[in-house]
Structure 1
Amino acid sequence: MKQLLVFFLSFCFSYAVSAQENNEVLFNKGMDAFNQKDYATSVKIFNDLVKIDSLNSVLHYNLGTAYLHMQNTGLSIYHLEKSLKLQPGYEPARINLNFAEKLKTKVTKGNLPIPQQQMLYSVFNFLKPNSWAYLAIGSMVLSVLVLIGYRFSQNATAKKLLFATSIFLLIVSTGSYFISENQSGYLLSNHYVIIKDTDVVLMQEPRTVSKITSTLTEGDKAFIKEETNQWVKIQLQNDTIGWVEKNNVLMY
């Protein structure tokens, strides 16, 4: 039984290493294709990698940049915005996003609402959600071990120190857990949309026979206010509010 367990763990480790190596090979092929200006191949490879690791800001940056060279405005803006959502301080993505915005046929002025989760994410983004979760688990285990030491210690000064340390580690564990939950919730939730097609109509009500509020262009960005199975209610940068069909937008 022990040998079987060792074999299983070795297999899992080998599989993980092999998968990582395969991803690195694919990444290098995508970069080679990009450097050779074969942007279509580069897009295909990075799309495959994004399906494997959807929360990788570098992959979204590379994909958005490849789409930028193909002058695919909507998809370029979407992936560059996604890259910045995952890594707010990623300056190369911000620079290329500015270039992508210039490809739009119509520039809309104004600012969109900022989700509360985004502000908290930006403050605690020096660690990723998984790292915060590991910190929560590790500090909880340490808190229990220190509390056991407190229970068996005979020295009054040591007992006070151990008890205070245990409480501190418990606070760290609880805080790290809530930060991890907030980070994960922000990354996995959709707050904005990018219009992926030209001449998309914004409706006053979530139905095809409703009054048309305005016409949107490829690459327009909007804030999500409400969703149904087929429609999403959005707020544009000029504060116009209306409904658009989900198949016309990319949500992130």
Structure 2
Amino acid sequence: MAQSDFDKANQSYQREKYKEAIQVYQKLLNSGQESAELHFNLGNCYYKLHEVAPAIYHYEKALQLNPNDREIQTNLVYANKRTIDDIKVIPKVGFHQLIGSYTSALKPSSWGIWAIVLSFMAVGLFIGFYLSYVGLIKRLYFIGMLCMLIAVATTAIAGFYEQNRVNSMHPAIVFDETAPVKSEPKSSAPDAFVLHAGTKVEVLENLANWRKIELSDETTGWIDADKLKEL
């Protein structure tokens, strides 16, 4: 990240020149210098300007890059309180939800790192097993090696599962102040319901310039793609 530009944007933010800060942050983002901190700062700027949709969008992007950051989570909660739509969240149950709640504790790359670390530990235990001549110690090394191999397999599977889970998700944020959602993917179709800026949806299907979306209460409909910004 070009630190001088980043510092310049931070100084603009401190002076409450939020639009000026946004221009510099966005310039850094457009140059490919993406980070959780950059999205977080952009979210803060838009929040200060009372632009709820881009604020939520950038907080969500920051969370994708740093899902365990408490400050990002807190600011996202405050931003969501400014949205108009009050949509109930239907808790999902079942085996896949249980596994997902476990694997989502770490990013896929973090699961991969743990698998590599545990693999080296398993190799170390194997060397100890191979070089040991004392029966009891040899058995302990063997048991430890088996446990470590199970741990390696578990973390590797968790990483693959989490990667597939993330790839299957297509969240988006409504950017229009008022966005009619149709019962069918055509302009002449009747409105099923109306959404407002900042509401988060899940994109299920693409058809030309239409997106089939699902809300957290499992309501579905079709919306013009130009009214959304996918995360």
The alignment's TM-score, normalised by the length of structure 2, stands at 0.78
1:1-252 aligned at under 5 Å gives the runs 22-50=1-29, 52=32, 54=34, 56-84=35-63, 86-87=65-66, 90-104=69-83, 106-111=84-89, 116=97, 119-122=101-104, 124-125=105-106, 128-187=107-166, 189-228=168-207, 230-237=209-216, 239-252=218-231
Instruction: Using the TM superposition, give the Cα deviation of residue 31 of structure 1 relative to its aligned residue in structure 2, in angstroms.
Output: 1.4
SS at match of 1:205: coil
Q: 1:191: Cα distance to partner?
A: 4.2
CA distance in 1, matches of 2:139, 2:213: 56
Alpha-carbon distance change, 78 to 118 in structure 1, aligned in 2, over 3 angstroms: farther
Aligned 8 A contact 1:190 1:251 in 2: no
Question: What whole-Å deviation, never above 9, does each CA across 1:92-120 have from its counterpart, x for those lacking one?
Answer: 3344334434544x332422566837523
User: Are the structure 2 counterparts of residues 183 and 163 from structure 1 closer, same or farther at C-alpha, using a change threshold of 3 Å?
Assistant: same
Residue by residue, what CA displacement relative to the aligned partner does 1:41-80 show, whole Å, maximum 9, x if unpaired?
32233335556465x4433221111111222221112222
Consecutive unaligned residues in structure 2, runs of 5 or more:
none
Q: Measure the CA separation in 1 of the matches of 2:100 and 2:45.
A: 27
Q: What is the alpha-carbon distance in structure 2 between the residues aligned to residue 241 and residue 247 of structure 1? A: 18
Contact 2:85 2:196 in 1 (8 A): no
Aligned-partner SS, 1:193: strand
Change (3 A) 1:112 1:245: farther
Give 1:110's aligned amino acid. Answer: K
Relative distance call for 1:153 and 1:237 in structure 2 (3 A) is closer
- Give the total of aligned pairs: 226
Contact 1:68–1:76 (8 Å) recurs in 2? yes
Bigger shift: 229-238 or 158-167?
A: 229-238
C-alpha deviation, 1:161, in angstroms:
1.4
Match of 1:47, SS?
helix
- Map Cα deviations across residues 122-178 of structure 1 (whole Å, 9 max, x no partner): 5x24xx433321221122233234324423432222221121121122112112222
Compared with structure 1, are the counterparts of its residues 49 and 161 closer, same or farther at alpha carbon in structure 2 (3 Å cutoff)? farther
Q: Which runs of 4+ in 1 moved over 6 A?
A: none
- Structure 1: state its 5+ residue gaps: 1-21
SS in 1 for 2:147: helix
Distance 1:134 1:107, change over 3 A: closer
Distance 2:67 2:17 in 1: 29
- The code of the aligned residue for 1:175 comes to T
